[in-house]
Amino acid sequence: MNDYEKEHSDILRRFGAECAVLLKRDVAFPLDGPCSLALYGSGARRTVKGGTGSGEVNSRYFATAEDGLEAAGFRVTTKAWMDSYDEIYAKAKKDFIRGLKRSALKRGTLAVLDSMGAVMPEPEYSLPLNYGDGAAVYVLSRISGEGSDRRPVPGDILLTETEKHDILALDRRYEKFLLVLNVGGPVDLSPVSEVRNILLLSQLGAETGNILADIILGKSAPSGKLSTTWSAWDDYASVGSFGDRYDTRYKEGIYVGYRYFDSAGRDPLFPFGFGLGYTEFEIAAGNATEENGTVSIDVSVKNTGKHSGKEVVQLYVSQPQGKLDKAYQTLAAFGKTEELKPGEEQKLTLSFDLRDLSSYDEERAAWILEPGDYVLRAGNSSRDTDAAAVIRIDGEAVTKKVRNCLGKPDFKDWKPEKPREEAIDGLPVIHVDAAAFRTETVSYELQHPVDPLAETLSDEELCLINTGAFNLKGSLSVIGEASQSVAGAAGETISFKDKGIPSLVMADGPAGLRLSRRYTRDDKGVHAADGGMPESITELMPAPAAFVMKRLGGNGRPKGEIFEQNCTAIPIGTALAQSWNFSFAEQCGDIVGDEMERFGTDLWLAPALNIHRDIRCGRNFEYFSEDPLLSGKFAAAITNGVQKHPGRGTTLKHFAANNQETNRYGNNSLVSERAMREIYLKGFETAVKESRPLALMTSYNLLNGTHTSEHRGLIQDILRAEFGFKGLVMTDWILAVMNMGKNKYPAPNAAKIAAAGGDLVMPGSKGDYKALLEGLKNGTVTRRQLIINATRVLCLAKQKQ
């Protein structure tokens, strides 16, 4: 390992346990020292470091649970069980892939197109459990990825009969038994809820197994909190639709995640914000104050238990019901303590701007704070808080006037029949004068800077610079194989060497920098030497195509000197958010930024901050949370880490309402303007304002009938005019496949994208180039707009010099 790799993995190992959430515990853990260990479960040896697809990071090494526990000195007594499980798994996998290919053939399509990311349900089997001495650990894994959604079936969201049986049997048999969840999103734990010790380890990248060993031995303490509600499957909301092929109706409006559970009076198994640790804390809220709309509250946190640990304090606000219905409570601020020893105490000040709680009134196209009582509640989970103070606003305040620009769905948003009442007796009241809030207005007349060099470009050159650099023989880009300059990068812009314009190289994430580990170089450029395309994709291809792709990716016979570019696999997005620790997220961004510098990558195609609208979304593991504040703050922290490195930037994605993978190229999200603004766009706004990311990627889906990449309202009015975004807007990887197969809505068109202010059609193809030229001729897009778009590309390209 190189020094930088060592430094990066040390950071992960030091802080990784902060992402892990202890859901249940008795006194059995942490253990006093390594011992004989019965290690079982799908993830014991086949531990998952992150999901599949473009988010899959090729790290040099990866510590599985078995590796980590053995390295820590445990004597694993269940090797024979693991060997037998490996055989069962390999056979099930083979049958599953064969089945996917067969059914695709029947439908007249290709498995690689419409079964990408398909989740293989965990198989049922019967392997005897040999109860030995010592402790027992059962690692339950799930994996999902881009292209498919998860399903509420045994082996995916539900537990299999085998899992239920084995987990319960081990819990009964061993005094010291830990159920470890090595998953990217919720599984329904209701059948095993009696288990005494449950750890949501998550998928923590390269150091996953080592971090698990550290937690079990108490070398580090889990201090994560859920960033998404974990419930029995049947208790999740079924108000809106999910997984429809063409039109998905977000009828639940703003009632997403805990906003639904709390407002509808449903009790989840483990609420949003929940997480135990090895110790106990006492939280006491002190005085609240208000100044110029900013509310602050002091909270003291004392470690009253026997172990050292960190605590996360969360501040929720219940808003008055008025013209607009409100969720029972909204996360307004949070903070994490330092590591506190037993008996130690720390004061935190939690602050938020009241304006950020404004609700969106569609009738007036305005953000408003309604009159009445805003109850502040502090605690260590959304369901464990104490009311601390009331902010009483004496009238209505219109905090911002904007314009509706997102279109209308064909339904009215759902709302709970009867809002929950909040008792405020005896609480201190702070009076706030509504007239003190100034109404912010937005100018939609944007002043676009124009680079004189862009003005000198010919029409053809402008069209070329408005798309990614493509291969004139046709684009070969299938997830991360489209760069001539950096092996395994996802794409790049065209370079005009004679004009001094270099290309911008982009590589995927978000669980690290996705490049090919090994590559060769010749006069045509770089070539991956170990296959840049994820196996989760090549395995779905017909055998001859897979062979060709692997050869193209350099598998097998690389010629010439082999160079290496080893990147660090960091925790998945959901796990990072579970740390509720910005500074760790920023350090992860710093790791990525450092590796971008080393390997010549300019834009990182991450962080991804779509909302966990439904636990079935196959890409939720890449995303942070069901809550917009948490999502936005983490995207900002990571961006700040990456952008410490001059010239390197992040690309927020996927903008917006990209909350399912089923028919992801052609799905239309029907969402109200209010829900879009309060839930799905809010995190992007926070990230843009707090970290100035260099780029942003639109999504594949349509929004109320318009492709997001062609949506001028979304890109110009909201992103640029309202949020003040100054960076580059690119599309998601629009490929020829988007036009294949039966679809209700046509694929987006490069000229319409450019006209909407989308600066770059990625990864770029001859088809996109021709569509742009055609669009210029027929007036779909103006030359001036292409110059404006090109200016934004040039601006970043020039920063490289």
Residues that bind ligand BGC in the complex, under the rule CB under 6 A: 54, 146, 479-480, 490, 508, 605, 653, 732-733
* In the complex, minimum distance from the CB of residue 107 to ligand BGC, in angstroms, rounded to a whole number: 21
260/430 Cα distance (integer angstroms) = 28
The residue among 660, 662, 576, 653 whose CA lies nearest residue 619 is 660
Residue whose CB is less far from ligand BGC, 139 or 729: 729
Q: How far apart are CA 118 and CA 153, in angstroms?
A: 13
Q: CB-wise, 479 or 786, nearer to ligand BGC?
A: 479
What amino acid occupies position 134? G
Contact 315, 350 (CB under 8 A): yes
Of the two residues 179 and 490, which places its CB atom closer to ligand BGC in the complex? 490
Q: With contact defined as beta carbons under 8 Å apart, do 298 and 347 qualify?
A: yes
Q: Which residues pair with 523 in a beta bridge?
A: none
Task: Give the DSSP H/E element, type plus range, for residue 301.
Answer: strand 294-303
We find the least distance from the C-beta atom of residue 625 to ligand BGC, in angstroms, to be 18
CB of residue 476 to ligand BGC, shortest distance in Å: 13
**Cα distance from N-terminal residue to C-terminal residue, the chain:** 31
Query: Which C-beta is closer to ligand BGC: that of 74 or that of 700?
Result: 700
User: Between 311 and 481, whose beta carbon lies closer to ligand BGC?
Assistant: 481
Residues 221, 215: contact at Cβ < 8 Å? Answer: yes
Q: CA 745, CA 125: separation in Å to the nearest integer?
A: 43
C-beta closer to ligand BGC: residue 405 or 489? 489
Structure letter (DSSP) for residue 323: S
CB proximity list for 425: less than 8 A, separation 6 or greater: none
Shortest distance (Å) from residue 539 CB to ligand BGC: 17
* CA 117 to each of CA 95, 536, 766, 779: distance values in angstroms, whole numbers, following the listed order: 16, 7, 28, 39
Q: How far is the CB of 696 from ligand BGC (least distance, A)?
A: 12
Residue placing its CB nearer to ligand BGC in the complex, 39 or 608: 608
Q: How far is the CB of 137 from ligand BGC (least distance, A)?
A: 34
Q: Between residues 333 and 479, which has the closer beta carbon with respect to ligand BGC?
A: 479
SS3 string, 169-197, reads HHHHHCCCEEEEEECCCCCCCHHHCCCCC
Q: How far is the CB of 784 from ligand BGC (least distance, A)?
A: 29
Tell me if 185 sits within 8 A of 235, measured CB to CB: no
Q: Minimum distance from CB of 536 to ligand BGC (Å)?
A: 13
Beta strand segments in 217-265, E: 247-249
In the complex, what is the shortest distance from the CB of residue 483 to ligand BGC, in angstroms, rounded to a whole number?
11
Smallest gap, in angstroms, from Cβ of residue 512 to ligand BGC? 13
Residue closer to ligand BGC (CB basis): 508 or 685: 508
Q: To the nearest 10°, the Cα dihedral for 268, 208, 170, 94?
A: 90
Q: Which is nearer to ligand BGC, 192 or 696 (CB)?
A: 696
Q: Which of 748, 678, 756, 683 is nearest to 713 (CA)?
A: 756
Helices 582-599 and 628-642 sit at what angle, rounded to 10 degrees? 40
